[in-house]
Amino acid sequence: MGDIFVVVEHRKGEVRDITYEMLFKAGQLCREYSHNLTAVILAGHDESFLDDIAPKADRGIVYEDESLKHFNGDLYRDILKGLIEEHRPFLTLAGHTSWGMDLGPALSAKTGYPLATDCVDILVENDRPVVIRQIFSGKVFSRVSFKESEGYLVSVRPGSFLPEDIEARKGEVIKNELPADLPVPRKNFVEFVDTAAGDVDISQADLLVSIGRGIGDEDNIEELKNLANTMGGTLSCSRPIVDKNWLPKYHQVGTSGKSVKPKVYLAFGISGAFQHVAGITAAGTVIAVNKDKKAPIFRVADYGVVDDLFNVVNALKEKLNA
Amino acid sequence: MNIVVCVKRVPLTQEVDLEIDGTGKDVKKDALAYVVNDWDNYAIEEAVLLQEKFGGTATAITIGTEDDEEVLRRALAVGADRAIRIDPGDLELDGFVISKLLAGVIKDLEYDLVLTGVQADDDNCGMVGIMLAEHLGLSHAAVVTGVEPEGDEATIKVELEGGMDEVSKIPFPALLSIQTGINEPRYVSIMGIRKAGKKELKVLEVADLNLTEDDLTPRTVVEEVFLPPETEGAEIIEGDASTVAEEIIRILTEKGVMV
Ligand SMILES: Cc1cc2nc3c(=O)[nH]c(=O)nc-3n(C[C@H](O)[C@H](O)[C@H](O)COP(=O)(O)OP(=O)(O)OC[C@H]3O[C@@H](n4cnc5c(N)ncnc54)[C@H](O)[C@@H]3O)c2cc1C
Ligand SMILES: Nc1ncnc2c1ncn2[C@@H]1O[C@H](COP(=O)(O)O)[C@@H](O)[C@H]1O
């Protein structure tokens, strides 16, 4: 029997969904293998979410300091390293998120515990974790084991474990003092800036006509924009379209863009990377057009069309103008 | 400002019917076309932009076979000054071992900044950059969408979820994992290719790097790769484009989003 640690992720005083997803999965593993669930909270003073998180774990270990209000790679890594070396948890979970992508590898390098990133499932076989990951942007799955170690680190893909209800646990709260030998952080927070605001609010649209790298060329955007207009829909897109400056950022759907909830999401030439489809979980009906019948988007779409998108676009235009 | 940029050559897998190879631990790769990892393209461009603005050198490094030198030559053609390939021989590689090999080379170079991509398009790990930073003892940031050096520090933007960036300050030397969209990677020019031929491309063996056996032991092992089950997923609309269009219009009308 050992510990499973969940590193609580929060921003601007609010707990991020990934935290509940990890607590849910960790709770299942704890039940099955008689481990204890520890939520580790590094936060500023008087963060109100403590009362919410603690009862979802056997114990909450809390470090409170103004320097911990925002994620700081140096401080978070060193505090967690100390804590892990003290308690030797069997498994430590962090999110495969922007800050988890900084924390996970750093913690692994510092503790020597092996790390598997972006995992969509966690199993235990012969007293060791085994994880399921996706490679090639979701076209292939892989089952990964770890070199034997005292403890293991796993970063969890957001949206992989959808919590029904998280069972109540002991919820003991332990407030720890900051370690005395903490380094002076090198990277220092300045401010948050909003990058997604703009003229069009794709999150309010009932019909989104969404385009991805498959449209091939900037010149084709106009045509798709016209199609969206004719249909009374709004144009949105995947990340590469914004990266190339073909459309402004506020058109982007996905983890680093917007979450949308249209009644119908019509996707042209989008492969369906998790960072994209995470933005359409609340969409009503998803129709995907892609010439690759193995494109991951077909696994989340309700309807699929395996064809060159321009064939479909032209046929739609003909019918609609007729 | 001296910059090191880590680049990887990856197979293109869109529009390809991938098959599992005989070992069951990888996909068949012989028929695949290869490119520079998308994220690394942006990292190379950022290195060249900074080098052009602030002087110094840009060095591109890859771990790979002779075929993988293609990505180094591309980096040289768009403006990197020199390149290093580490030949892994028949070493088993995972993110940890790759980060140790890179650290083994970079520790002896002069640099202010090390750039990697956020993730490689094949293994999608997003791990090597920050592990490398820790081996080198560097300050670091992941998912970076802006870098503005000023004296011995830089103001950087880290991309967070939900359309938000975090602005912070970070001192040199630092490692940043670069996110797509940070710049607009330039195309390779004929001039560039000609110049690249004259630039240094050094090849190192693992034995040159002074690494321990532990450094060269993978921390994770791929036991098996498999294709997702075919049963789940979308109902495929069959027929010619005209039939498909009618069906799409029917669905849109039924859902009440089109009048
Ligand atoms: C930290 C992080 C955050 C990210 N955030 C986001 C995000 O918010 N949103 C987002 O979208 N991505 C995001 N990404 C990027 C994501 O991982 C993928 O790279 C991206 O979603 C791919 O976009 P795509 O599907 O348009 O392009 P590709 O993956 O290149 O897919 C193009 C598709 O078009 C198809 N195609 C090509 N030509 C045609 C044609 N003529 N007709 C029909 N189909 C065709 C191909 O078969 C392929 O499936 C993020 C990545 C990271 C690391
Ligand atoms: N074989 C390699 N050679 C050089 N750089 C690499 C290699 N593998 C990964 N990297 C770097 O590490 C980044 C992240 O890769 P990964 O952690 O594998 O997703 C890539 O974008 C590259 O910059």
Look at the pTM and tell me if it is higher than 0.95: yes
Q: Say whether residue B125 is in contact with chain A using an 8 A CB cutoff.
A: yes
Q: Say whether residue A304 is in contact with chain B using an 8 A CB cutoff.
A: yes
The DSSP code for A307 is S
Q: Say whether residue A300 is in contact with chain B using an 8 A CB cutoff.
A: yes
Interface contact flag, A315 B244, Cβ < 8 Å? yes
Per CB-CB distance under 8 Å, the chain A contacts of B220 are: 114-116, 144-147
Interface contact flag, A114 B220, Cβ < 8 Å? yes
pLDDT value at residue B205: 97
pLDDT value at residue A1: 66
Percent of chain A at pLDDT > 70 equals 99
CATH of domain A3-176: 3.40.50.620
- Is residue B221 exposed (0-12), middle (13-18) or buried (19+ Cβ within 10 Å)? middle
DSSP string, B100-150: HHHHHHHTTS--SEEEEES--TTT----HHHHHHHHHT-EEEEEEEEEEEE
Inter-CA distances, A100 with A66, A247, B240, Å: 20, 29, 46
Give the integer Cα–Cα distance in Å for B108 and B90: 24
Whether residue B193 is predicted with pLDDT greater than 90 in this model: the reply is: yes
What distance separates the 2 farthest-apart alpha carbons in chain B? Answer: 70
pLDDT value at residue A49: 86
Mean pLDDT for chain A? 95
Is-contact A282 A265, C-beta < 8 A?
A: no
Tell me which residue in B27, B167, B221 faces A191 most closely, judged by beta carbons. B167
Percent of chain B at pLDDT > 70 equals 100
The rounded Å distance from CA A68 to ligand 1 centre is 35
Interface contact flag, A187 B169, Cβ < 8 Å? yes
Whether residue B259 is predicted with pLDDT greater than 70 in this model: the reply is: no
Dump pLDDT digits (tens) for A212-269: 999 999 999 999 999 999 999 999 999 999 999 999 999 999 999 999 999 999 999 9
Inter-CA distances, A57 with A172, A268, B253, Å: 8, 43, 48
Please work out whether the CB of residue B88 comes within 6 Å of at least one atom of ligand 2. no
> Closest approach of chain A CAs to the CA of B6, in angstroms?
17
Is-contact B148 B155, C-beta < 8 A?
A: yes
Dump pLDDT digits (tens) for A123-136: 999 899 999 999 99
pLDDT value at residue A145: 98
Give the integer Cα–Cα distance in Å for B37 and A13: 36
> Closest approach of chain A CAs to the CA of B60, in angstroms?
22
Residue of B nearest to A262 (CA): B257
Q: Say whether residue B33 is in contact with chain A using an 8 A CB cutoff.
A: no
Interface contact flag, A137 B124, Cβ < 8 Å? yes
Interface contact flag, A73 B135, Cβ < 8 Å? no
pLDDT value at residue B107: 98
Topology annotation, domain B3-209 = Rossmann fold (3.40.50)
Averaged pLDDT for residues A197-203: 91
Has domain A202-321 been given CATH number 3.40.50.1220?
yes
Dump pLDDT digits (tens) for A75-93: 999 999 999 999 999 999 9
The beta strand positions in chain A, using DSSP E, are 3-7, 10-11, 14-15, 36-43, 59-64, 91-95, 115-125, 128-135, 140-146, 152-156, 172-176, 188-194, 207-211, 234-237, 264-268, 285-290, 303-306
The rounded Å distance from CA A276 to ligand 1 centre is 7
Dump pLDDT digits (tens) for A169-181: 999 999 999 999 8
Tell me which residue in A104, A263, A312 faces B257 most closely, judged by beta carbons. A263
Pairing of strands B139-150, B153-160: antiparallel
Name the nearest CA neighbour of A184 among A102, A78, A64, A103: A78
Mean pLDDT for chain B? 96
Is-contact A84 A111, C-beta < 8 A?
A: yes
Averaged pLDDT for residues B37-54: 98
Same fold, A3-176 and A202-321: yes
Domain positions in chain B? 3-209
Give the pLDDT band of residue A47 (cuts 50, 70, 90).
confident
Give the integer Cα–Cα distance in Å for B219 and A144: 10
Give the integer Cα–Cα distance in Å for A169 and B199: 63
Q: Say whether residue A301 is in contact with chain B using an 8 A CB cutoff.
A: yes
Residue of A nearest to B229 (CA): A299
Domain positions in chain A? 3-176, 202-321
What are the φ and ψ backbone dihedral angles of B139, each rounded to 5 degrees? -70, 155
Dump pLDDT digits (tens) for A10-38: 999 999 999 999 999 999 999 999 999 99
- ipTM, interface predicted TM-score of the complex: 0.96
Interface contact flag, A312 B140, Cβ < 8 Å? no
User: In B, residues 68-87, which contact A (CB 8 Å cutoff)?
Assistant: none
Give the pLDDT band of residue A322 (cuts 50, 70, 90).
low
What are the φ and ψ backbone dihedral angles of B226, each rounded to 5 degrees? -150, 155
